[in-house]
Amino acid sequence: MKVLITGATGQLGLALLKQLKNTDYQVKITSRRKPQNINQFEWVYSDFSTGEGLKDAITDIDVIIHAATSPMKDSKNVDVIGFGKFLDMNLQIKHFIYPSIVGIEDIPMNYYKYKYQAEELLINSSVPHTIIRATQFHSFIENSLLSKPLFKKYFVPGDFKFQTVDTSEFAAHLIQLIGDVPKGKINDFGGPEILTLREMAELKIKVNNESNKVANLSFPGKLYRAFLKGKNTNEQQKLGKITFEEYLRNKGK
């Protein structure tokens, strides 16, 4: 079985590669930058915004885990337009595994709107697929919302709820799907606990012995209310085991 991992240099892509090293799958990987220390895998340059390299990437492939995405810039081009063209090239594939995000239809953010459009493209295509949504990754919250205190304070919407999950556990779940039949849209994969962003910031301060404090932000609008209500969480799908605190304590070990 030959598997293609797109987005091989991303948070999820790297977690997938780490675990695929220990499997018998033949693995090809693709991204624009070349990941380090991946000599056992065949790497192909590709760009979803131009289509360059994608034909080479999919040659002889049975299963794709599509971890390429562009959350910040060029989202529409990469995650919808480029993605749609990529699907058209993949009509012969046995299984297209698509990681998505919990709550995207209820949270008014452009990136989530594009992820939802991509899900719809896949559902309405003839490509055999599995769509699996995850909650936000621990590393995403740490590296974005809690990355840089300002004047010794984390200015965050402290009442936002998150059910973050470890990328390694989500990667393992996706890898299990490789040998399975395409299942359409399946149950979400959520982290083990729902915390407010204030609680997450306080955990980071405690674990890293920081002298920073948390300053609460609020703003009007639907986006604020969606995260306040935890639309990005799924209480029924607490499948991950590694908590945010454990993730912070075990980093770099």
Ligand X SMILES: NC(=O)c1ccc[n+]([C@@H]2O[C@H](COP(=O)([O-])OP(=O)(O)OC[C@H]3O[C@@H](n4cnc5c(N)ncnc54)[C@H](OP(=O)(O)O)[C@@H]3O)[C@@H](O)[C@H]2O)c1
Residues lying near ligand X in the complex (CB under 6 A) are found at 7-13, 31-33, 46-49, 67-71, 78, 99, 101, 115, 134, 136-137, 140
Nearer to ligand X, 215 or 246 (CB): 246
CB of 153 to ligand X, least distance (A): 24
Instruction: Output b/e per residue, 169-202; b: 16+ Cβ within 10 A.
Output: bbbebbbebbeeebeeeeebbbbbebbbbbbbbb
For the bound state, the minimum distance from the C-beta of residue 134 to ligand X, rounded and expressed in Å, comes to 4
Query: Rounded to the nearest whole angstrom, what is the least distance from the CB of residue 152 to ligand X in the complex?
Result: 26
Closest residue by beta carbon to ligand X: 10
- Residue 115 or 203: which CB sits closer to ligand X? 115
**In the complex, what is the shortest distance from the CB of residue 91 to ligand X, in angstroms, rounded to a whole number?**
20
Comparison of 46 and 233: residue with beta carbon closer to ligand X: 46
- Distance, in Å, from the CA atom of 45 to the CA atom of 118, rounded to the nearest integer, reads 22
**What DSSP state is assigned to residue 190?**
B
Write the Ramachandran bin of 71: left for phi over 0, alpha for psi from -120 to 50, otherwise beta: alpha
Identify the CA nearest to 224 among candidates 160, 154, 162.
160
Rounded distance, CA 232 to CA 213, Å? 25
Question: Greatest CA separation found in the chain?
Answer: 55
Rounded (10°) angle between helices 11-20 and 167-178? 60
Nearer to ligand X, 71 or 240 (CB): 71
Report in angstroms how near the CB of residue 38 gets to ligand X at its nearest.
Answer: 12
**Residue 145 or 151: which CB sits closer to ligand X?**
145
Give me the half-sphere count of Cα atoms (radius 13 Å) on the Cβ side of residue 102. Answer: 26
- Closest to ligand X by CB, 49 vs 212, is 49
Q: Considering the complex, what minimum distance in angstroms separates the CB of residue 81 from ligand X?
A: 11
